[in-house]
Each structure stands twice: as structure tokens, then as C-alpha cells.
Amino acid sequence: MADKSGPATTGRAPRADHPAQIRNVVLVGPSGAGKTTLIEALLHASGATSRMGRVEEGTTVSDYDDVEVRQKRSVNLSVAPVVSAGVKVNLLDTPGYADFVGDLRAGLRAADAALFVVSAVDGIDGRTRLLWEECASIGIPRAVAVSKIDHHRADVDGVVEQCRAAFGENVLPAYVPEFAGDGEKRTVQGLMGLISGRYHDYSDGTRTEAEPPRDLAELAEPMRDALIEGVIQESEDETLMDRYMEGEELDPAMLITDLEAAVARAGFYPVLAVSALRGVGVAELLEELPRATPAPTERPVPEVTAAAGGGTVPGLSCDPDGALLAEVVKTISDPYVGRVSLVRVFSGTLRPDTVVHVCGQGLAERGHEDHDVDERIGALLAPSGKHSEPVGEIVAGDVCAVAKLTRAETGDTLSAKERPLRMPPWTFPDPLLPVALRAASKSDEDKLAQAISRLASEDVTLRVEVNPETHQLVLWCMGEAHLDLALDRLSSRYGVAVETGELRVPLRETFAEPAEGMGRNVKQSGGHGEYGVCHIQVEPLPSGAGLEFVDKIVGGVVPRQFIPSVEKGIRSQMESGVQSGYPLVDIRVTLYDGKAHSVDSSDMAFQKAGRLALKNAAEKCRLSMLEPLDEVAVLVADEYMGAVMSDLSARRGRVIGTEPMADGRTMVRAEVPQLEIIRYAVDLRSLSHGTGTFTRSYLRHEPLPAQLAEKYTQEMAGSA
């Protein structure tokens, strides 16, 4: 059996030899709440760093990520380990900005508990409420850290009440801060544990234990009673409530143990007050993390199937001696180092220079091809701040970086080659902001395809496609910040300069009324010439019908072998359009007459005749331009539903129904032209204060209003 004495420290990075010595805690919350600063404070308090400073996020997996410095915001999932009470705590820092929800969900997948960081100045927002619900749906234990309590505009009590209203009655403060002064002179003096009654004085900038001030103790008494009652409600000891009601003084140590057990079971959610910059509450939080968050052995291993298919594979647990099961939760492609994968090990032990099976399935629609390959992994790296150190092995429950997995992508499963396994990927958000890209120069064009492919392989919330109708290279992003990050990385990491252009929506055209046309292709230039004449009738068909070709030739005026040539020419002309340059669709073409020459007629001659006949028919009638419609489903809080429905109507959308959902939200379903929702991912976020989400799927093409049709016809003519 592995040694369970405690995590070892090799150089800078702590190392654990058994899952019981590990905790994985993901920090989540709005941008600007102070997650990164809190991690820096915890590193400092644990002795992992010698001073507080700017946390260089995104650098704990491989090298320093200067994109975050330039953009001055967190954009990566990163890992920082600390040691507390002999336990290695992997702190997973996640971006707070909505565009980077993919990294946030990756952090949830790798973690066994979540710490919500909420600013005492700004409070919670709608996205934080939704994230709490998401965590509740997967049963992950949670706690709340109210940050920035030393700010002169901080309202700790008000924010705690916000949290209780949004998250539930089992959200209760475990510590109460003491303040002195008012306004900008208001300072944090100390912190008292509500159950233990211990008071830590921070008035001189250091943490010393002292007697709690009498007025603070009196103020805290009702909060203490509420906390104790909440703990008793969640306690597995059914006698506690009776003993408490009878006036028995319950042992604080026992209550604290019960509280920590309730937190680990996701039945109780304590609130801790912290000031990361001053260090207030940081030591208390560091003490609680290993005690109140579950070890990986206490959490179930995600569902697993055999890589080749079949039912669920039973019997896996967080056992270092079990079958290998790990997952890539983040991928970084570096032009110099190569691909580095951030990996959570769920079962078994991962060792360097061994062959593992890499399985990636279920993301083909995002441009990530299914793959089952065996690969030899390179070095295992233990992240520590912006540095990484080689380690000998990584046991179940731990997180590490793996070098040189050239085929592995985010969401892939790693397992033993003798027993290939597959974990279904977690739910990735759909990128819904499309942007057209083009290389800035010929040299950039040569490098763009490979660079953007590598970029998409590390970020599954990016999707790359070449639109088959407009032939544009389209990058689908989560939002503008996500786009800025992708362009920055293409430039700084891969040396590729790109330009963004206006996205062309795949419009089409069709006949609005019947017409007849003749195609005459007669050329004599010595030797064999070209001879093909055909007469056609064209009729419009319903949307989605495509081309219906009817042969009504009699008497052999067009030889049988050339009738398919006419159809081929018509299909070719339909692809390039007849008036606006957009594809022609949904018509019935009847070939009823024609002429041929015994020598000069040929397949190519009648193909040209077919194209000419279709263009001639188009000149004699009115054409209709068609635009694509999407079926859009918007999930939005009831308070924003009116604004959303008005906005959809302004986009020429048709609301076809609403459906009340849980928790005060409504699903609005509508049919909306694609031309009107190119930037809807950005606009909906603004309309709904970051809480609205939507999905879209192609429905059909419908006639474009005449004034818009004229505009797009002129644009195509100008670009021709």
C-alpha cells in the first residue's frame, strides 16, 4: 500500500502519495471578485510563495502566458497547489468572464468541491446564481468566500443575505468580522469563529489570538444560534436537536466536525469572510479547506464505458492500484514546447514514459474527429505557480500536466492500452458568435490552417468551419472577448496575422413564377465545332425541394445520351446562381425540345446549352431571393422576457411559443432570420445581464424582403 503519512515536497511543488492526502477545490465567481488574489494569498499563507504579488494566471500548466498580462484578465484554467494540515490542496482558478465558461466547466470536472468567491462590494450576479444551480445539479460540495471585506464600500451582511436568498437557507456565515471606523477609514479589526468562539485579532496586520470584544460576541450570538441549528439539522446524530432544545451546551469541537461533514456531503454551505490583500480570514480558510472538502476517495468516479463501445464498466474507484483512468481537462499548444495536457487522474497511477490509450469521441460536430490511439506520454509535471517540476508518478485523485501527448485533446480519456476506456465528455457550451477570418498576407495564408486547427484542438469552445456556400473561413466563438483571445494567440503564439471580415449569410435565389428559356450553343471554328440547342420550362417548387428535372423529349430531337448533359449543365448553373451570384434552388426544369448535330454535338456542348437555357429563363421572369431562418430557443429569467421578445420581433423574428421553466425562467421559441442574429450571442448577454442562453438550428429558407434583396444583390455584384 502507498504511504499515507502526508504530501512530500520535492523542490517547490508538493506531491501526494495517496488520494487521502489530496483535495481538489475549484474557485468560481464573477470576474473581479478576487479569485486569483485569494489564491495568491493562500499560496503566501501556506509558505508556497515568499510574498504577495501579481498572480500570473494561466502559467501553472506550462510556460508564462503573456496573453493574460496583455488583456489584464484571467482566460485560462490554472492550478496552484498548497499544503495545509498535511494535505495537498489543488486550487483550480477559473476565469470569471462569461466567454470562458468552457474553462470553468473543465475546472468543475477536475474538482471535488467548489469555493464561490463573491465580492462584498459587488455582490452576486445572475451568472453566479446559474452556476450555483449547475453545481447543485452535479452534487458538488460548495462553500462561499465573501472577499474584499476591507473595502470602504463593503457590505458583508448584505451580501450574505443575497447569497442566502439566491443559494438557499443552508448558506450561513461561519465567521463574523469586526470593523472599526466609518467610510474610507473603516478597517477590519478581527475575525471570530461563530462555533468555536475563537477570535483572531488582525488590527496590527498580523494574526494573533485574543479574547473577542464583548460587543462583537453579543452581536454574533443570534448568528451563532442560527449556525448551530443549521448544523444540527444536517447532523447524522439525531439526538443533537433534543439535547440542544433542552439547553445542553454542545461541544464546539463536535459541532465543527459535524459542520465539516455536512459541507463535504453538499448539505451545508458555510460563508467565510476574507480580505486577501490584508490576509484577514486567509489562514482560517486554509485550515478549513482540507477538513471541510472531500477527498477524491469520497467522490464517485465518472461513468466509464469500454472504448470500443458497450455498457458501463463497473468497479472503478479512486484507487492508486486500480485500472488507469484519467481525463484531459485542458490543452495548451505551445509552438516551442509542443502540446501540454492538464490531466485529472481518477483511478490508477500515471507514470512517465509509458504507453496509454487516448480516446476522444463525441465531439465530431465541433471539428474534433473521433480517435482511438496509443501514445507514449512524456514527462509528468507538477504545477507550482508559473513553474512546473518533473515528478515520478501521479496517483489517483491528483492533477498534473503531461507533455508530448500529440493526439490528446481537451475531453479525451487516458487509460491503459490493455484496457481502453472512455469517459463521456462533460457538457461544453456551444459557440454562437460567428466571425469570418482571412489571412492578412500570402505567407499568413500558408500557416493559417495548421495554426487555427491547433488552436481549436486546445479549446473545444471554438469551432472552425469553411462554409460550403459562401466559402468563408468561419470561427465560432463564445463572445467578443473569446474572439480577441483567439486572434491574440494566433498572432503571438503562431505568428499568423488575420483579418476579420463581414460574415456572409448563405442566401439563395429561386424562380418566383414560371418561365421558358432557350439555350443555343452553336460555334463553328474549323474542324469539330460545338452544337447544342435546348428548350426548357422552369417552375418554382416549395422550399427544400431542390431540383426536379423532367425529360419530355420526343422524336430524338435531343439524343438520349445528351439529356443527362443538359441536366448536369443546369445543376452547375444553379450552384453559381443566375442573377445575384447566390445558389439557385427549388425549381422544376422540363426539357421539352432541342436540336443536335451529328458531328458537332457533344456532352460539353449540351452542358453549356443547359446553362444558357436556365439563364435565359431567369431573364424573362421575376426571381425571389431566399434567406435562411433558424429555430431559436432562448432561456431567460422572467424579468427579462419582455425585453427579449421585443428584441426578437425587432429582428424580424416570429415568436412561436413560450414555456415556463424552473426557477423563474422561461423558454422563448422563435423563428429568426440568420441575417439578424449574427451577433445575438453578444446582444442577448447585454439584454439579460449575462443570464440568458440560447440555441439555434437551421430551419428553412424563406423569401427575403424586397428592399433587403436588392441590397444583397448589389453587394454581390460589387464584389464580383
CATH 3.30.70.240 boundaries in the chain = 625-719
Residue ranges of the alpha helices (H) in 235-251? 240-245
In CATH, the number for domain 433-501 is 3.30.70.870
pLDDT for 236: 83
Of residues 206, 171, 213, the one with CA closest to residue 192 = 213
CATH 2.40.30.10 boundaries in the chain = 305-422
Low-confidence ranges of the chain (pLDDT < 70): 1-12, 50-74, 334-337, 362-368, 384-387, 526-527, 713-720
Q: What is the pLDDT of residues 142-151, one digit of tens each?
A: 999 999 999 9
Q: What is the pLDDT of residues 330-356, one digit of tens each?
A: 988 766 667 889 999 999 999 998 999
Report how far residue 455's alpha carbon sits from residue 135's, in angstroms, rounded to the nearest whole number.
Answer: 28
CATH 3.30.70.870 boundaries in the chain = 433-501
Cα–Cα distances (Å) from 566 to 14, 123, 270, 549, in that order, read 74, 69, 76, 10
CATH 3.30.230.10 boundaries in the chain = 508-621
pLDDT for 73: 61
The pTM assigned to this predicted structure is 0.85
Instruction: Report residue 303 as a C-alpha cell.
Output: 461513468
- Strand segments, DSSP code E, in 55-138 are 78-84, 87-93, 113-119
pLDDT for 424: 85
User: According to the CATH classification, is domain 305-422 in 3.40.50.2300?
Assistant: no
pLDDT for 53: 54
Fold of 508-621: Ribosomal Protein S5; domain 2 (3.30.230)
pLDDT for 591: 97
Of residues 700, 646, 645, 648, the one with CA closest to residue 672 = 648
Task: List beta partners, residue 669.
Answer: 633, 657
In CATH, the number for domain 625-719 is 3.30.70.240
Strands 199-201 and 421-422: unpaired
Interior angle at CA 213, CA 212 and CA 215, nearest 5: 130
pLDDT for 384: 67
Report how far residue 116's alpha carbon sits from residue 142's, in angstroms, rounded to the nearest whole number.
Answer: 7
